[in-house]
Structure 1
Amino acid sequence: MVHTNAFAVTVAALLAALPVHVQAGLYSKNSPVLQLDGKSYDRLIAQSNYTSIVEFYAPWCGHCKNLQPAYEKAARTLEGLAKVAAVDCDDDSNKPFCGQFGVQGFPTLKIIKPGKKPGKPVIEDYNGQRTAKDIVDAVIDKIPNHVRRVEDKTLETFLAESNDSAKAILFTDKGKTSALMRAVAIDFKDSLTVAQIRDKEKASVELFGITKFPTLLVLPGGKEAEGIIYEGELKKAPIVDFLSKSTNIAPNPDPAPGKPKNAKAKDEKKASKKKEEFESASEKHAKEDGKNAGATATEEELEEDATASPDPIVETEKPIRLPDPAPPIPLLATEEEVVKECLGPRTGTCILALLSNTPDIVAGTAVSSLSEIAHRSRLHGRRLFPFYALPQPNPAYENIKSKLGLKDIDVIAINGRRGWWKAVPRESDSLAAEDVNEEKLENWVDSIRLGEGGKQKLPEGLIPEEPAEEEVEEPAAEEEANTDEQVEVEVNADDDEAVKEEDKSHDEL
């Protein structure tokens, strides 16, 4: 393709016309989603006794924006049971942190559950459906279970263990331990024993005089102490308050207490040094975009068979080199190039951005958005139909514009082989910058790739007819042999070839 200086200047002018703005994160201060960065991750997530799910996102990412309502709904549902957090990877200060977690596309979701050693959590990728229900189910499945299962045959031993220490027992008709009780047990881990007894354990039920299920009973500890039955609603906050007041045991603090000042200063000094190394090693960077938890919980405890967590502290990692910025989409400089790439009788789908001679913010937004989408596709090795800029000096510009009834600036998809085209959706007759932002263009491209939406037939004459192939005279066939034996051999040979060809076609489906 030919890229003249004039066209390069045009694209540069279009990109320069784009407004400079700072994008805020997706989640507000009032959002139920916890905001994280490289500094707060260790204290809020890695050191926590709770299971967490963390979203690594970029504010400009269309898929991240689509996920936001479901993710916030999941956060409200999981409140008090698990942590739902997010990291803005478009923030320069977070890029080393996101890179260390292997984030290559947005949104990336990871479930982080406590490991066997404090501060060394187990991290698993979440690859399930991006709905609130599926996210909630996956996270609940990973909440650690510290609730003891007690039966009639083990009750005496259970009560004899640390007789002076307090115990909480839930009498229930359910077979599995609820997420609520697992969360309560986490709050009192290593300070208050939480147990569960089924209704079918008749001796235990009669011993404590339980008549309805569920019933929560507290044994404050000591030989003379009598059991106290909880009469409140089955919600975490009042249950925790009841257990704390009836046993004089405070729930575990979460998040964990901060580090001593001297340790904090030392960490900040290390982080500052590594940040300088990172910035010098990655002068340029680009935005990246993208998209079931493995192990499941047993009734008693979770399997710890997932891949061990990488050390999430930024200063322990080497500087990360991020990809270069997205190059502008190619320009079609001549009419012949347009026919070869997009308007030929055998060309597939391609995206054309029609650009007028006058730099415009709409054209600049379109070029920038298409460049980013194409660049991310190449980075992730995804096959996508090509994107091109068609400037006004190219004779094909006026031909396409007039025959399709387009504006001076427009974005269309066109398929010469199948004879269809479609324009990018818009709110009004004229194309606006909002119509061609990255999110909307990416959704539109995805719909084309999936075959969604209507298409229009290309008018006659826009696609040049394919030149007729010259007829080549077949050489005269050799005179056939006169013997019946030769004829029979030839027929059999043809039959064998037909069978081979049929078998080959079945193999290839």
Structure 2
Amino acid sequence: MVYTGALAAAGTALLLASPATAAGLYPKSSAVLQVDAKNYDRLIAKSNYTSIVEFYAPWCGHCKNLQPAYENAAKKLAGLAKVAAVNCDEDANKQFCGSMGVQGFPTLKIVKPGKKFGKPIVEDYQGAREAKPIIEAVSAKIANHVSKVTDKDLDAFMAENVDNHKAILFTEKGSTSSLLKAIAIDFLGGIKVAQIRSKEARAVEMFGIEKFPTIILLPAGNGAAATTYYGELKKDDIVKFLSSVHPPNQDPAPARGKASKEKKAEKKETKAEKKAAKKAEEEFEEASSSHKESEASESAESETEEASKSTESPSPEVKQEKPAVLTPPIPVITSETELADACLTPKSGTCVLAFTSAKGGDVSVQSVESLAEVAFKYQNSKHAIFPFYAVSEEINSTTELKTALGLTNDVDVVAINAKRGWMRKYSGDAYTVEAIEMWIDSIRMGEGEKEVLPGILIGKSPEQVAQTTTIQVEETEPKETVSVKDEL
């Protein structure tokens, strides 16, 4: 059995042993751009590209849960938008995170260029913490500098841009892809990017377009011959093709002749601004401290308790030490009826079931103890949590029930909700307190994939389930893959 006092003390020691500058979640090799207080203005605020920025702390469980999806989004949006992250646990970034209104982790903000250079529009991202909705939200905010041209306004477009290089995409689609928007941003001010639909017969005939999509490049000047692009519809290849007449813009873009004024403005910081920044830092540190306490609520109590034990009291009275508090074990279900009543009625909410066996050895013990630790932690923090149960392997129909749920290991932990008809298996390799807690948190937040709970289980005892030879489980629809690169 694990003692909560010892566990909290270990957590406190780990926090105290951590360096002042905590290691971030994203390595240098990550597709996620590492941003800090010093380079945010240059890399994000003054960029022509739309960005999404995650403000996080390395110790935050929800930040760790988000990491794989955020990495995936960064890879899919590469070359189209920026996916960045700021480690708010670093001392150098705390004031900056406070000034950005960060009060909890992770906080996601979409930053898109504003009308005034260096003054972007910042919006909170409120969508699901998954790759697909993040990609869709960012793609929708990419600035559109692509002109849509029809037969009716073709002559006017050509006349207005006679002195400009022009790149025209002929396509069957009416919408403008993220890829074309990104290319227009790359060459903003150097090449005018346009889009013409296949139904514009006059334009198609004028430029001799035979298939769609097709990109042509028209150098500046009257009578310049068009060059057709025959390569793959990939950004790097298209940019290389267009670079023959004009190089792509640097990112971040130059300050458009206002560098001297901006430098003066950056250097000029009034006392009032410094005071406001200091206040923002204090508010952020207070919010950060509160958030960190919720992640490890017992650490501070343990540290205080240990300090009081090690400090000699001036009073001659000898205080009796408090007995160590044992973590209460989770309830054990020992009969079919008990299991059915607890978790398998049509009105049963979420239950977490731990199926263990003697073959599981130490892993069986660890899984149950970790669940007990998590349950006890929620109890101490006065936060409601769904019930956890250990299912005795001595129940006659346990094997049949595990088969119905698709559980095949010596140790299996699964969450089920009979009322809503879903189940979610724990798929981790380790049964540590931290790993189990992250899994429980993801269920509470509605994150992660769920499977359909076999309807045959609901409202029936495991004995009745055992008598059923065939159980049909609805097939979940395959996840839609997200691709935003080749949409021309």
Are 2:187 and 1:188 aligned?
A: yes
**8 Å Cα contact 2:12-2:300 kept in structure 1:** no
Are 2:298 and 1:367 aligned?
Answer: yes
Counterpart CA distance in 2 for 1:162 and 1:445 is: 56
Against the structure 1 CA distance between its residues 250 and 165, is the aligned structure 2 distance closer, same or farther, given a 3 Å change threshold? same
Task: Tell me the secondary structure at the aligned position of residue 90 of structure 1.
Answer: coil
Moved more, 161-170 or 256-265: 256-265
Out of 353, 369, 373, which is 1:411 matched to?
A: 373
The alpha-carbon deviation at position 278 of structure 1 amounts to 3.7
Measured after TM superposition, the shift of residue 435 of structure 1 is 3.3
For the residue of structure 2 that corresponds to 1:129, the secondary structure is coil
- Structure-to-structure mapping, 1:248-263, within 5 angstroms: 249-256=246-253
The answer as to 2:55 corresponding to 1:56 is: yes
Aligned to 2:63, the other structure's residue is in SS state helix
Q: Work out whether 1:393 is the aligned partner of 2:323.
A: yes
- Aligned residues of 2:46 and 2:118 also touching (Cα < 8 A): yes
How far does residue 325 in structure 1 lie from its aligned partner after superposition? 7.8
In structure 2, how many angstroms separate the alpha carbons of the residues matched to 1:392 and 1:29? 47
| CA 413–133 in structure 1, closer or farther in 2 if over 3 Å, else same | closer
> Partners of 2:162 and 2:285 in 1: how far apart?
61
Equivalent positions of 1:39-54 (< 5 A) are: 39-54=38-53
Contact 2:95–2:280 under 8 Å retained in 1 = no
How far, CA to CA, are the matches of 1:239 and 1:70 in structure 2? 28
Contact 1:285/1:325 (8 A) holds in 2: no
d(CA) in 1 for partners of 2:71, 2:292: 31
The alpha carbon displacement at 1:57 in A equals: 0.5
Query: Post-superposition shift, 1:92?
Result: 1.1
| Structure 2: runs of 5 or more not aligned | 304-320, 333-364, 380-386, 391-410, 412-429, 451-488
CA offsets 1:31-72 (integer angstroms, 9 cap, x no match) = 010011111111111111110000010001111111111111
Per the TM alignment, residue 214 of structure 1 is displaced from its structure 2 partner at its CA by 0.5
Q: Which amino acid aligns with 1:40?
A: N
Which amino acid is the alignment partner of residue 169 of structure 2?
L
Shift in alpha-carbon separation, 1:277–1:50, aligned structure 2, 3 A: closer
Q: How many percent of aligned residue pairs carry the same amino acid?
A: 51
Deviation at 1:138, TM superposition (A): 0.8
Read off the aligned partner of 2:211 and give its amino acid letter.
K
Does the CA contact (< 8 Å) of 2:45 and 2:120 recur in 1?
yes
Stretches of structure 1 that go unaligned for 5 or more consecutive residues are 1-8, 289-321, 329-364, 373-390, 428-432, 453-509
Name the counterpart of 1:21. 18
Q: Which amino acid aligns with 1:75?
A: A
1:123-144 per-position Cα deviation (integer Å, ceiling 9, x unaligned): 1111111111111111111111
Which residue matches 1:110?
Answer: 109
Q: Which amino acid aligns with 1:116?
A: K
Which of 408, 430, 435 is equivalent to 2:432?
435
Q: 1:284 & 1:222 partners in 2: Cα distance?
A: 56
- Whether the 8 Å CA contact 1:146–1:185 is kept in 2: the answer is yes
* Other-structure match for 1:234: 233
Amino acid at match of 1:252: N
**What corresponds to 2:470 in structure 1?**
none
- Change in Cα spacing, 1:50 to 1:271, as seen in structure 2 (3 Å) is farther
User: Given residue 368 of structure 1, which amino acid in structure 2 is its aligned partner?
Assistant: S
1:101, CA displacement in angstroms? 1.4
Summarize deviations over 1:110-162 as a string: whole Å, max 9, x none: 11111111111111111111111111111111111111011111111111113
How far residue 15 of structure 1 moved from its aligned partner, in angstroms, is 7.0
Question: What is the rounded CA distance, in whole Å, between the counterparts of 1:280 and 1:116 in structure 2?
Answer: 26
Corresponding position of 2:84: 85
* 8 Å Cα contact 1:169/1:196 also seen in 2: yes
Preserved CA contact (<8 Å) 1:44 1:256: no
Change (3 A) 1:370 1:398: closer
**CA separation of 1:216/1:263 partners in 2, compared to 1, >3 Å: closer, same or farther?**
closer
* C-alpha separation in 2, matches of 1:56 and 1:233: 36
1:301 paired residue number? none
1:164 is matched with which residue? 163
Instruction: Return the alpha-carbon distance in structure 1 between the equivalents of residues 140 and 62 of structure 2.
Output: 25
Q: Helix, strand or coil for the counterpart of 1:45?
A: helix
Structure of greater Rg: 1
The 5 Å alignment of 1:302-381 reads 326=293, 367-368=298-299
> Per the alignment, do residues 286 and 225 of structure 1 end up closer, same or farther by CA in structure 2, a change over 3 Å counting?
same
Change in 2 beyond 3 A, CA 1:224/1:265:
closer
Query: What secondary structure, in the 3-state scheme, does the structure 2 residue paired with 1:174 have?
Result: coil
The 1:370/1:225 distance shift into structure 2, 3 A limit, reads farther
- Name the CA distance, whole Å, in 2 between partners of 1:73 and 1:324: 26
Query: 1:53–1:109: 8 Å Cα contact kept in structure 2?
Result: yes
